[in-house]
Amino acid sequence: MKKGTWIFIAVGILLLGIFFPGLSGAAEKVIKLGHVLDTKHPYHIGSLHFAKRVAELTKGRVEVQVYPSSQLGNERELVEAMQVGTIEMGASTSAVAARFVKEIEIFNLPFLFQGFPHLYKILDSQFGEEINQASQKKGLRILAWWVGGSRSIYARKPISDLASMKGMKIRTIESPVVVATWKALGLIPTPIPFGEVYTALQQGVVDAGEGNVISYESMKFDEVAPYLSHIKYLITVQLLCIGESFFKGLPAEFQTALIQAGKECVRVERKANEEAEEKIIELLKTKKKTVVIPNLDPFIAGVQPVYEQYGKAIGMDKIKWIQSYK
């Protein structure tokens, strides 16, 4: 190859490094970010926006690599890895995160929030920042409060009201409060890692599952549990976290960029979640799945023992504050 050609190629590579530093492999710091959902889910959309903004804000000096679909482990494994520093970032539901930061448990109480706007106000208030401070003491810094949709129950056989669900074995998220909720409602809760839910339903290990309708459809749970009772007993709170020790070891300018990117990705993820949830309900109906919206009064009455059991430990003052917050 002629000398002039080599010079042209070298100049081209140099220009790529100047104008598109992320393409040149010149990142000073690489951050791995793991979550358990597929690439269509709002969590992934939020993760990609976060990664894009970090690259832009640091001019390519920091690269965030996103690993969906439990590639870096389930949520418990992600949280543990962030605490010890083997993985830099991850997304976790409040149900799992509460096993490490007890203050997060309040988000697992059934029928606590009046809807998405109510939840957003709580998460974006000083209350959310106080929980972030508590999390940092446990080795986890919350960069973004995401949402994962309204959680309902889906089953292998028809479910029309609370009475029709009694005695069912239901897969639940890993939370004592959630387990207590389904016990109070007369079901048999069985915590199972998210990646094993499809097989558990398919093989009849459980009769039903609980979760948000977006992952219910995207993970194809509707294939093996085609009956959905849309009770919206919880709104999933999803934490985008970074290991606190890793974060503190970064230059101040990188820390600032990560915090800013975290704030900006919230709007994108929440919007994607709300739009997806609306579409999914209609999609399920077109796919001939059975979607019912039962009378919630028996459910709400049935979970009152959960508030009595956990209210004191969580803090009844906090619970009442959330319930009355406008």
- What is the tens place of the pLDDT at every residue in 132-155? 999 999 999 999 999 988 999 999
Range of the domain at 69: 9-324
* pLDDT, tens digit (0-9, with 9 covering 90-100), for 184-210: 999 999 999 888 999 999 999 999 999
Q: What is the spatial distance between Cα 287 and Cα 306, in angstroms, rounded to a whole number? A: 36
Measured between alpha carbons, how far is 316 from 312 in angstroms, rounded to an integer?
Answer: 6
| 52 belongs to a structural domain | yes
- Return the structure tokens found at 216: 């219910």
Question: Could you tell me the maximum CA-CA distance found in the chain, to the nearest angstrom?
Answer: 82
* Both structure tokens of 231: 């009770």
Q: Within a domain: residue 2?
A: no
Please indicate, yes or no, if residue 37 is contained in any of the structural domains. Answer: yes
CATH of the domain at 216: 3.40.190.170
Predicted local distance difference test score (pLDDT) of residue 270: 98
Number of domains in the chain: 1
Q: What is the pLDDT of residue 174?
A: 83
Tell me 164's DSSP state: G
In a domain, 3, yes or no: no
| 238-260 tens-digit pLDDT | 999 999 999 999 999 999 999 99
Q: Give the span between the Cα atoms of 48 and 52, in whole angstroms.
A: 6
112: left (phi over 0), alpha (psi -120 to 50) or beta: alpha
Percent of the chain whose predicted confidence (pLDDT) is above 70:
92
**Is-contact 146 269, C-beta < 8 A?**
yes
Give the residues of the chain that fall short of pLDDT 70: 1-25
Strands 290-292 and 227-243: parallel
Q: Is residue 4 part of a domain?
A: no
Residue 1 lies in a domain: no
Q: Is residue 34 domain-resident?
A: yes
DSSP code string of 41-106: SHHHHHHHHHHHHHHHHTTTSEEEEEE-TTTT--HHHHHHHHHHTSSSEEEEEHHHHTTT-GGGGG
Asked, for residue 289, whether it belongs to a domain, the answer is yes
Is the entire prediction scored with pTM above 0.85?
A: yes
